[in-house]
Amino acid sequence: MRRFLALCLVSLVVSAGLVPVATADAAAQQTDAPPDPDSDVVGWENGYWHNESIDIDQSDGLSDAELEAYVARSMARVEHLRDREFKEEVPVSVVSREQYRQRSANQSKTNASFEAWNNQVWEALFVTGEQENVQRELGSTLGSAVAGFYSPKDSEIKIVTDSPDEPVVDNATLHHELVHAMQDQYHNLSSDTYTGKTQDGDLAVSGVVEGEANYIEQLYADRCGGEWECVETPRSGGSGPGDSDVNLGIFLTIFQPYSDGPPYVHDLRQDGGWDAVDDRFADPPVSTEQVIHRTDEQPVPIDYTDRARDGWSLFEEGQNGSDTVGEASLFAMFWYQDRIATEGFDGFEWQRIADRESRYDRYNYQSTPTEGWANDRLFPYAKGSGDDAEYGYVWLLEWDTPKDAREFRSTYLSMLRANGAESQGSDVYVVEDGEFADAFRVTRQGTTVTVVNAPTADDLADVRPRGQRETTAPETSSTTAPGLGVLAALTALAVVLVALAAAVGRR
């Protein structure tokens, strides 16, 4: 996932009633626009005030003149809601879905070593199986749903549509991407500040970047049909997706910043105004735990010494060969597996994802077995090469208390059993069949849970010999990781949250 999103940050526009989509309303309290100001001011842009009426009909697509007026007034509305000026105009153009897919394919190419490493990360999360390629899963999950994106490199927004000759621009997509353009003008989203070095780090940074965009998008939608007249978006055709092949485990992981980010930004604004939000842009959160729980608690450093033998070796990708998946990804793992299990499993209730705590929330990413996360490092291993290669991993998970560690281990073992795992004694469990067929050794020492994975029970001792306690200590120096990615393009997806919303309500 990380290389893919390093090139394309996902901004999700939720359908199925999860985010209000603005439509025109004859009862909207639209005021007559005052004369144009002598100089550019907040709430006025390129000839249009934020509360000015415009005559636009998208039923037959947008003309160039309609698009120009639509964008100008939308910029004025983003200024009004964010209480600051755009520094420059933001170009908006239209590309076909085929052009977008080709662009994405060119940008998301990765080497074989990275793909094998990343496949192990997602296999460890029980989201993609041994025979699946994560890059392809990401493409099928996201590719058909993209509605538009902002490119920091080009400083422009592109609307992706299946009907480029009669383009339709969704209100949510346009305003969301304009927020990203404003962020880029003030914070330079291409800087290293907004590129996490791990999966969890990238999702955490996205918590403030996407949090602000989705928060302002909702403030905008709240005014439609009341304070503001808004351009109606036809419900058929346009830039939204049709049938989409969504991997719900991947999607739920990626979606966390768009769910927890808006209430996170709202709380910052409530406590310290927009200045507090700007301060967080200067110093973004470092873990999804900080966004989920609104905390400044820092991850506990984890030290790791490689002791593999008999040809098993670490990859060169990641931080000394490792990744950190974080609390959000752990939640998505349990949610996805509990939902697809025939009878679920003990320790997790996937239905509670719908128990929202804030009006700005989409889903609830808190659960008993994932709370108390203090850090984790996942080290994929390989033996051999090509078609003969074998894979495994060592996963160290640190928890705040021994109780937290016990709760995670207990639920994890329940998940293994739901996948057919049989105990072979000494904390060893074997899944004989299916996409996660492997051997697992799952131990706990104090606040540390260690998961060792290998093709067979005999291989476990070669991937990670027994006998030494895993310890926490100052973290070793790390290599540069590609990151989940935040930036080459900020992408808006009219995602099939119809599918995810339905998944919340049924097995």
- pLDDT tens-place string over residues 117-176: 999 999 999 999 988 888 778 776 666 567 788 999 899 999 888 888 888 898 888 999
Integer-rounded Cα Rg, in Å, for the chain is 24
Tens digit of each residue's pLDDT (9 = 90 or more) over 407-445: 999 999 999 999 999 999 999 999 999 999 999 999 999
pLDDT for the residue 100: 80
For residues 492 and 9, the answer to whether their CB atoms sit within 8 Å is: no
pLDDT for the residue 143: 63
251 shares a domain with 353: no
Domain assignment present for 205: yes
In terms of pLDDT, which residue wins out, 102 or 69? 69
Domain assignment present for 292: no
Q: Which domain holds residue 385?
A: 313-463
Domain assignment present for 187: yes
pLDDT for the residue 22: 43
DSSP letters along 236-282, please?
Answer: SSTTS-SS----HHHHHHHHHHHHHHHHHHHHHHHHHHHHHHHHHHH
Average pLDDT over residues 7-26: 40
pLDDT at residue 15 tops 70: no
Domain assignment present for 289: no
Residue 411, CA atoms < 13 Å, CB-side half-sphere: 22
213 shares a domain with 176: yes
122 shares a domain with 91: yes
pLDDT for the residue 245: 63
pLDDT for the residue 107: 65
In terms of pLDDT, which residue wins out, 265 or 491? 265
Beta strands in 278-347 (DSSP E): 313-314
488 shares a domain with 457: no
Domain assignment present for 19: yes
pLDDT for the residue 435: 93
pLDDT at residue 500 tops 60: no
Between helix 64-82 and helix 171-187 the angle, nearest 10°, is: 60
pLDDT for the residue 38: 86
pLDDT for the residue 222: 93
Domain assignment present for 270: yes
pLDDT for the residue 133: 84
Tens digit of each residue's pLDDT (9 = 90 or more) over 453-483: 999 999 999 999 997 665 443 333 344 444 4
74 shares a domain with 222: yes
Domain assignment present for 379: yes
**215's tokens:** 């928060």
Cα–Cα distance, 50 to 228 (Å, whole number): 9
Confidence of residue 246 (pLDDT cuts 50, 70, 90): confident
Cα–Cα distance, 262 to 457 (Å, whole number): 45
3-state helix, strand, coil in the chain (%, to 5): 40, 15, 45
For residues 101 and 116, the answer to whether their CB atoms sit within 8 Å is: no
277 shares a domain with 237: yes
345 shares a domain with 271: no
Residue 54 C-alpha from the chain's centroid: 35
Question: How high does pLDDT run on average in the chain?
Answer: 85
Single out the residue of 295, 207, 205, 220 nearest to residue 255, CA to CA.
Answer: 207
pLDDT for the residue 108: 59
| % of the chain exceeding 70 in pLDDT | 81
60 CB neighbour count, 10 Å cutoff: 9
122 shares a domain with 74: yes
Cα–Cα distance, 418 to 333 (Å, whole number): 13
Cα–Cα distance, 471 to 304 (Å, whole number): 8
pLDDT at residue 346 tops 80: yes
8 shares a domain with 110: yes
Q: Give the count of domains, the chain.
A: 2
pLDDT at residue 383 tops 90: yes
In terms of pLDDT, which residue wins out, 181 or 483? 181
328 shares a domain with 206: no
Confidence of residue 95 (pLDDT cuts 50, 70, 90): confident
Domain assignment present for 235: yes
DSSP letters along 286-320, please?
Answer: SSHHHHHHT--PPPPP--------TT-EE-SSTBT
231 shares a domain with 319: no
Phi-psi region of 476 (alpha: psi -120 to 50; beta: other; left: phi over 0): beta
Residue 501 C-alpha from the chain's centroid: 17
449 shares a domain with 322: yes
